[in-house]
Chain A
Amino acid sequence: MSEPLIRLRGITKTFGEGATAFQALKGIDLDVDKGDFIAVMGASGSGKSTMMNIVGCLDVATSGSFTFKGVEVGTLERDQRALLRRRYLGFVFQGFNLLSRTTALENVELPLIYRGDDAKARRSTAMGALERVGLADWSDHTPSELSGGQQQRVAIARAIVTQPQVLLADEPTGNLDSERSLEIMALMRGLNQDSGITIMMVTHEPDMAAFASTIIHFKDGLVERVEQNRPIPFRGGVGVGHVQNSGVLTAPTPGPSPEGEG
């Protein structure tokens, strides 16, 4: 059996020290294969973002093993982790984290600058990413001139602009209305199925989780349950999410498929 792309074993994360110490992750075991589309659900404070940050190489676990492409990330140097982020990972933050006073286009260009693209290539690639999230007309607006939903889409464009192997999205539709959310989900599904990008996404909405092939339920810093899901048919016009191994998830029909919009 081949090594999974991402493999977590007994991952714990403790914040603070001594009496105020708080264990946000209490031993996470998880395998993610290339091409997976995973949704992470769970109550607020259950440790979803904490795990995403560790998988995104933005934070380090307190204990346990995290391997990415067979490499033990915990033993890497700071700059080597930065290079992992640069080459393989795209991250959408729960709080966007865009550069202020910087246009949408320049924000999206940022990862390309560190990848070493020249100015012209950078511009057209970034413009393409903005088009995919439907913000081509807003490219020269700064975050303070954009709505929450628009900022979220800029953050998504920045995460996908480098064509990462893994896209980690922490509540990417948290600020969007249902129509926009479905558009973003369709985009993600396209990235997953057409470009083979592995996706891990945190969401509170069963509608969105229904797009994923695997749903992981978090509870109090532990994986409570993993369910396999038959995602909404890709080109079926109408799709219904099925729960294969339990009857818990009953995803509603997400209307006409947003697929096909440019």
Chain B
Amino acid sequence: MLGTTIILAFREIRRHVLRSFLTTLGIIIGVAAVVTMVTLGNGATAAISSQISSLGSNLLTIRPGQGYGRGGGGPSPPPFDEADTEAIRKQVAGVLSVAAQSSTSAIAIFEAQNWTTTVTGTTNDYFAASHLQLSAGRIFNEVELGAGKSVCVIGSTVQTNLFKEGDPLAKTFRLKDISCQVIGVLETRGAAGFGPDQDDQVVMPIKTVMRRLTGNRDVRAFQVAVDPAYDTKAVSAAITALLRERRKIASGDDDDFNIFDSKQLSDTLSGTTKTLTALLGAVAAVSLIVGGIGIMNIMLVSVTERTREIGIRLAVGAVQREVLMQFLVEAAALSCLGGVIGLLLALVATFALSPLMGIPFGFDVQINLLAFLFSAAIGIVFGYFPARRAASLNPIDALRHE
């Protein structure tokens, strides 16, 4: 009997191609929309998380001035000096390393190419603190740092603009008045990060920059790596106290420097990401419900339309169960087919859209399963219950139905 029922169900599907297609379409769209949205949302979340972790955690960046967006008028606050570097390194607990930075902008010239870029004078601690890796060459050695040799590690933007396709290692180019030899190249970080573009810079020993480019001993910034065992807030407070004392700021006056805590930023961003994920979940739930209502409507309309068919089957001797079985098989077949097509569509859509949106492609088994089961269940339930109502009528009433 079940075999016959299945044949009957598939016959009806084949006889009413358009109606079957429309029923399936509701499920296809519902499933595809939800799965695509949630998958892309998860991808975006993952992308943001990886950008946050690329910032380097437990990193404090200290600059003169009152932080971004403030200040403006008035005398610019004094820079730091090398004694400050030593003081922070030695007097503050929880500091792993301090990379002092002196920076200026300069035009780099190699053969016919020239490129305006930022020159960062610093020590090897800078690479570690900022999580910068080399794609070729090496970082500075003790001699180069101590003597202030004219060597440099260049960012990938500088590499492309000065050397094009050629190998920059051991090449010498002009930087303002000095010539500078390339000993290493930084790995590309991409513009997706936060803060200044770290691909567009020339990194040199701080002594070289001070002596030969800026002509002063000003330290424009520190990057302080904090021991993970310590709280960045406490370390930040200790540094603030130390610098206020060293810079002789009267109590009650504002700081004339600012400390940027990457840990704090990453905490904030993670919070935002969580909110985003929750929002996406809510939107997905709503569209799943809307899709469900669509499926419901089509199923209801189609069963109403088919009440006469149910009447005919009952009239020639079908029992209620046989009619219901046929409708159940039909609804299940259409729902599952629609679900599978919807999942495939979502797979294609996420595969095509992920690179366009610059997020990693991912396949979330859970949401695929959830969307499929939900819409299949709705399709089956709403194919079944109206049919049950119709099959419980007297055949003559079902036949008279309009």
- Taking Cβ atoms with an 8 Å cutoff, the residues of A that contact B are 53, 56, 58-60, 78-79, 82-83, 85-87, 89, 91, 93, 97-99, 101-102, 106, 110-111, 113-116, 158, 162
Q: Across the interface, do A110 and B311 meet the contact criterion of CB distance under 8 Å?
A: no
- With contacts A97-B312, A101-B16, A102-B15 taken as known, whether A114 is within 8 angstroms of B317 at the C-beta atoms is yes
Would you call B394 and A113 a contact (CB within 8 A)?
Answer: no
Interface footprint category on B = 20 to 34
Check A58 against B395 for contact (C-beta < 8 Å): yes
Among B311, B313, B322, B392, the residue within 8 A (CB) of A78 is: B392
Residues of A within 8 A of B309 (CB): 99
A83 and B317 within 8 A (CB): yes
Q: Mark B296-327, 1 if CB is under 8 A from A, else 0.
A: 00000000000011011111111111100000
Which residues of chain B come closer than 8 Å to A99, judged between CB atoms? 309, 312
For the complex, would chain B's binding face be called helix, strand, loop or mixed by DSSP majority? Answer: helix
Specify the chain A residue showing the minimal Cβ separation from B314: A82
Are A97 and B394 in touch, CB under 8 angstroms?
Answer: no
Do A60 and B317 touch (CB < 8 A)?
A: no
Q: How far is the CA of A98 from the CA of B16 in the complex (A)?
A: 16
The answer, yes or no, to whether B390 is at the interface (CB within 8 Å) is no
Check: B229 CB closer than 8 A to any chain A CB.
no
Give complex CA distance A115, B316 in Å.
10
Known: A101-B16, A116-B1. A158 touches B320 (CB 8 A): no
Q: For A87, list chain B residues within 8 Å (CB).
A: 317
Q: Are A97 and B308 in contact (CB under 8 A)?
A: yes
User: Smallest Cβ distance from A209 to chain B, in angstroms?
Assistant: 24
Q: Is B366 an interface residue (CB 8 A)?
A: no
Contact of B318 among A56, A58, A102, A114 (CB under 8 A): A114
Docked CA distance A79–B321 (Å): 9
B251 contacts partner chain A, Cβ-Cβ < 8 Å: no
Min CB distance B31 to A, Å, is 29
Q: Report whether A158 and B316 are in contact in the complex, using a CB–CB cutoff of 8 Å.
A: yes
The distance in angstroms between the C-alpha atoms of A56 and B317, with both chains bound, is 11
State whether B315 touches A91 (Cβ < 8 A): yes
Nearest-CB distance from A59 to chain B (Å)? 4
Chain B residues with Cβ under 8 A from A59's Cβ?
394-397
CA distance A98 to B11 in the complex (A): 16
Which residues from B are CB-within-8-Å of A91? 315-316
Chain B residues lying within 8 Å of A83, measured Cβ to Cβ, are 317, 319
Is residue B158 within 8 Å, beta carbon to beta carbon, of the partner chain? Answer: no
Q: Establish whether residues B311 and A114, one from each chain, have CB atoms under 8 Å apart when the complex forms.
A: no
- Which of B309, B314, B395 is the most central at the interface, judged by chain A CB atoms within 10 Å of its CB? B395
Q: Are B394 and A60 in contact (CB under 8 A)?
A: yes
Residues of B within 8 A of A78 (CB): 320, 392
Known contacts A101-B16, A114-B322; A86/B316 CB under 8 A: yes
Inside 8 A of A79's CB, which chain B residues have their CB?
319-321
Within 8 Å CB of B394, what residues of A?
A: 58-60
Q: Is B8 in contact with chain A by the CB < 8 A criterion?
A: yes
A82 touches B319 (CB 8 A): yes
B399 within 8 A of A: yes
Is the CB–CB distance between A97 and B315 below 8 Å?
A: yes
* Alpha-carbon gap, A85 to B392, bound state (A): 16
What are 29 contact pairs spanning A and B, CB under 8 A? A53-B396, A56-B315, A58-B395, A58-B396, A58-B399, A59-B394, A59-B396, A78-B320, A78-B392, A79-B319, A79-B320, A79-B321, A82-B317, A82-B319, A85-B315, A85-B316, A86-B317, A97-B312, A97-B315, A97-B399, A98-B312, A101-B15, A101-B16, A106-B11, A110-B313, A111-B316, A114-B322, A116-B1, A162-B317
Residue from B314, B318, B396 with most neighbouring chain A CB atoms (10 Å): B396
A169 to chain B, nearest CB (A): 14
Docked pose: A115 CA to B317 CA in angstroms: 8
The 4 residue pairs across chains A and B that have the minimum distance between CB atoms: A86-B317, A111-B316, A79-B319, A58-B396
With a CB–CB cut-off of 8 A, which chain B residues contact A86? 316-318
User: Which residues on A sit within 8 Å (CB–CB) of B308?
Assistant: 97
Given contacts A79-B319, A97-B312, 10 further A-B contacts (CB under 8 A): A82-B318, A83-B319, A85-B316, A91-B316, A97-B308, A106-B11, A110-B313, A111-B316, A113-B8, A114-B317
